[in-house]
Amino acid sequence: MKTDHPDGREKRYVPLGLIGTGAMAEVYRCRLSGPQGFEKLVAQKKLLPRWAKDPIAIADFVDEARLGGLLFHENIAQIFDFGESDGSYFLTMECLYGKDLRAVMQRMESLQGGMPAGHALYIAARICAGMEYAHQLKDLRQRPLNLVHRELSPDNIVVTYEGKVKIIDFGCARADLFDDRTRMGMVKGQIPYMAPEQLTATAVDQRADIFAIGILLYEMLSGRRMYGGDTATLIMKCRNAEYARLESVVGKLPPSVCAIVEKALQSDRKLRYQSCGQMLEDIEACLSAIQPQPSSQLLGRYLRWLFAGDLPEEKKRPARIAPAVAEEHEEGAETQLSADAGDRKAVTPRRGFRLFRTAVWFVAGGLGLMLAVFLLSSDLVEEEKIPPALPEPPLQQAMAEPAPQVVVDLPRQAEQVLTVSAEQPARLSTEQPAKRPVEQPVKRAVSPDIGRAKKIDAFLAKAAEAWKDKRLTDPEKDCAFWFYSRILALDPKNVDAWQGIEQIGKYYGDQAEQALGEHKFQEAERYVQRGLQVFPENRRLIALQGEMGAHVVQYIAELAGKAEKALLQDNLTIPVEACAYTYYKKILKLDKRNDAALDGIDKIADRYAELGEDAYRNLQVANCREFVKSGLSVAPHHPKLLKLQEDLDRSMPGIFFKSLQKSLSTMFE
């Protein structure tokens, strides 16, 4: 990654490895080198070659850099540099070691609880502080930017292991001085974290960010998603601010805390906090009543406890880069409606046709639904029962995987179609079909039910056979899970099928726990992954997945203690099952770069070299050969052992004189 600069410092960024590649850019971990040994670890984001010549992509990338260059606050991830390299632009950013807020909340969900109120309020306070600064930001000529982030989602809030809270990814932000290309009727953001006004394609101001902060605080305190459902349902709930009130979800919260959330989430923005500074004052008043006083130190300790299993690996590489290009975030999105940040698609000129096709699809779908209602009410359509699609599992929790994303241009006409498509199915399900005449044959009406029942019985029989052979999830179309899925496609409420799926999850949970007890971590991980593929909301499997890292860390500590004890007893490579070398090898199997294990193997080789030297001086040639052989089996390139092996190749007189020389040198030392 050669970086060209007019002052001739072409190689000041030394690439250390690719972090990730998104739809429009790639991010490298780099070492920034300077005079007199100056070094700094940074992340460098660079447009991919296919976008390097696209004028809109370049303009958006430049605007992001210009805006990021003005942002300098302890709660906002910093952009250090911007330039051109090899015909493409790049940004140099801050490396963040920690977890995004989504990962933190998912870990809390696996522990079946919300975040402690003190930590949740502290994080919200830091977000408010950073956004109050951003909202008041002016350019170098002291002109107000009127900046709005528009995407304050859990993916864009990072908590470091030192307890620092960082806002990242201002790629969707709007600033008056930079956003002269945004068209009217365009919406940016993620549906579950949008203010109601963001879905009306009208002007959005800084109070939309306050609503998003209210959602984040609600979800941290409750341990659940504020909105749930598919994309159409999310749109309707978001537009109307329909959610379960915090006090009804979480008990024993101070009324003042619930009042803050309630005020931030007012659907009428005139009734919300009018600035992040006002919200910050109320949060700090609540924090002052909490003991011990929440702080970055306590938050960092809490995060390190939550992710204890991830720390050894994350000491070697950044856990999160700002902004998160590796998650396929596309800068320059002109229209973006997303249920989550995991799979975002931007609308660019190259996607213009797909945008048009999507809008037409929505319009056609809405008209089709209205036509169906008319036909049903007119008794022009014969009654026909169609098996519904496989529903969400009944045990699905509010913090489950994000809903699918929708990318759509949202002028007012398309907005009305979305409203129809979201509401119409409910009317269809409640209307009664017109009664058939008496002379209508009954056979046609009941035969589908009889055929469906026979199919269900056949699938249940096949599922039972698969259970006997332990074909639970494999092969794909001849396993118990596949048969249960076919049943649910015919009868979404079939109790036998749901119980069968739950039993598969329980079986894999039992196998995973047994493997963990035997320290077979890879096997346990396979069982957990198979179980989650069947039943993603199984809390037991989610908890086991979260505990895996802690089990590994604890087991490594146990092995290290046994290895140290074996070293003191000179049990270096024997007995095989209880020697230092075996323990260290087990550690390295779990962690290939474990420093303690690598140092321990060097100690084993050093000890064999000492024993070999003593045996050589005493002319115990056979013993010396055994020590050298054992030592080289542990460390084939150990210099002292190789030198001893060379001395052993001498003739017997040569060995005698060499041993005498070693003895004399030892005496004089």
pLDDT per residue as tens digits for the range 460-516: 999 999 999 989 988 888 999 999 988 988 888 888 988 898 899 889 989 998 998
Place of tokens 């209508």: 440
In 3D space, the residue among 226, 223, 217 whose CA is nearest the CA of residue 286 turns out to be 217
Beta bridge partners, 13, equal: 32
Give the Cα separation of 339 and 191 in Å (integer).
5
CA distances from 56 to 43, 137, 252, 323, 620 (A): 24, 25, 51, 19, 79
Q: How confident is the model at residue 664 (pLDDT cuts 50, 70, 90)?
A: low
Looking at per-residue confidence, does 42 or 178 come out higher?
Answer: 42
> Residue 6, exposed/middle/buried by CB under 10 A (0-12, 13-18, 19+)?
exposed
CA distances from 281 to 132, 258, 535 (A): 11, 15, 43
In 3D space, the residue among 156, 220, 241 whose CA is nearest the CA of residue 190 turns out to be 156
**pLDDT beyond 90 at 650:** no
Report CA 83 to chain centroid distance, whole Å: 30
Q: What is the pLDDT of residues 612-649, one digit of tens each?
A: 888 888 888 889 889 999 999 999 989 889 988 888 87
Is residue 213 within 8 Å of 184, Cβ to Cβ?
A: no
Structural domain boundaries in the chain:
98-318, 362-430, 447-551, 569-668
- The strand pair at 320-321 and 39-47 is best described as unpaired
Beta bridge partners, 89, equal: 84
State the CB neighbour count (10 A cutoff) for residue 255.
Answer: 9
Q: Which two tokens stand for residue 198?
A: 């963001």
Encode 113-128: b = buried (16+ Cβ within 10 Å), e = exposed. Answer: ebbbbbbbbbbbbbbb
Task: Report residue 262: phi and psi, to 5°.
Answer: -60, -40
The DSSP code for 321 is E
Give the Cα separation of 608 and 158 in Å (integer).
49
Give the Cα separation of 400 and 661 in Å (integer).
74
**pLDDT beyond 80 at 369:** no
Give the Cα separation of 247 and 222 in Å (integer).
9
CATH superfamily, region 98-318: Transferase(Phosphotransferase) domain 1 (1.10.510.10)
Give the Cα separation of 406 and 362 in Å (integer).
11
Model pLDDT, residue 584? 93
pTM above 0.75, yes or no: no
In 3D space, the residue among 119, 122, 151 whose CA is nearest the CA of residue 134 turns out to be 151
**pLDDT beyond 70 at 186:** no
Mean of per-residue pLDDT scores for the chain: 75
**pLDDT beyond 50 at 279:** yes
**Ranges assigned E (strand) in 262-408:** 320-321
Is residue 422 within 8 Å of 191, Cβ to Cβ?
A: no
Instruction: Determine the longest span between alpha carbons in the chain, in angstroms.
Output: 120
**Ranges assigned E (strand) in 546-665:** none
Number of alpha helices (DSSP H) and beta strands (DSSP E) in the chain: 22, 9
DSSP-assigned letters across all residues of 633-657: HH-TT-HHHHHHHHHHTS-HHHHHH
Is residue 579 within 8 Å of 567, Cβ to Cβ?
A: no
Encode 548-561: b = buried (16+ Cβ within 10 Å), e = exposed. Answer: bbebbbebbeebbe
Element (H or E) spanning 96, and its range?
strand 88-96
In 3D space, the residue among 92, 472, 160 whose CA is nearest the CA of residue 300 turns out to be 160
Q: Is the dihedral of CA 625, 631, 636, 638 positive or negative?
A: negative
Which of 99-108, 193-202, 378-387, 595-604 has the weakest average pLDDT? Answer: 378-387
Q: How confident is the model at residue 265 (pLDDT cuts 50, 70, 90)?
A: very high
Sheet with 157-160, strands from edge to edge, namely 98-100, 157-160, 165-167
Looking at CATH, the fold of the domain delimited by 447-551 is given as 1.25.40
DSSP-assigned letters across all residues of 290-317: SSSPP-HHHHHHHHHHHTGGGHHHHTSS
Give the Cα separation of 661 and 646 in Å (integer).
15
Would you put residue 340 in left (φ > 0), alpha (ψ -120 to 50) or beta? beta
Q: What is the pLDDT of residues 557-606, one digit of tens each?
A: 889 999 999 999 989 998 988 999 999 999 998 888 888 899 999 999 99
Instruction: Spell out the residues 6+ positions from residue 534 whose beta carbon is closer than 8 angstroms to its own.
Output: 472, 473, 481, 501, 504, 505, 508
Would you put residue 185 in left (φ > 0), alpha (ψ -120 to 50) or beta? left
Give the Cα separation of 265 and 207 in Å (integer).
10
**pLDDT beyond 70 at 49:** yes
Instruction: Spell out the residues 6+ positions from residue 448 whose beta carbon is closer than 8 angstroms to its own.
Output: 384, 385
In 3D space, the residue among 102, 90, 196, 109 whose CA is nearest the CA of residue 158 turns out to be 102
Q: Is the dihedral of CA 161, 162, 165, 171 positive or negative?
A: negative
Place of tokens 């991919």: 48
Q: Which two tokens stand for residue 146?
A: 């009127």
Percent above pLDDT 90 for the chain? 23
Is residue 433 within 8 Å of 383, Cβ to Cβ?
A: yes
Q: What is the pLDDT of residues 226-249, one digit of tens each?
A: 988 776 677 788 888 889 999 888
Instruction: Give, in degrees to the nearest 5, the angle at Cα 496 between 492 and 499.
Output: 95
Element (H or E) spanning 80, and its range?
strand 79-85
**pLDDT beyond 90 at 282:** yes
Give the Cα separation of 479 and 472 in Å (integer).
5
Task: Report residue 310: phi and psi, to 5°.
Answer: -90, -15
Model pLDDT, residue 97? 82
Q: What is the pLDDT of residues 381-419, one digit of tens each?
A: 333 333 333 333 333 333 333 333 333 333 333 333 333
Q: Which two tokens stand for residue 443?
A: 């056979």
Give the Cα separation of 325 and 62 in Å (integer).
15
- The strand pair at 98-100 and 88-96 is best described as unpaired
> Residue 73, exposed/middle/buried by CB under 10 A (0-12, 13-18, 19+)?
middle
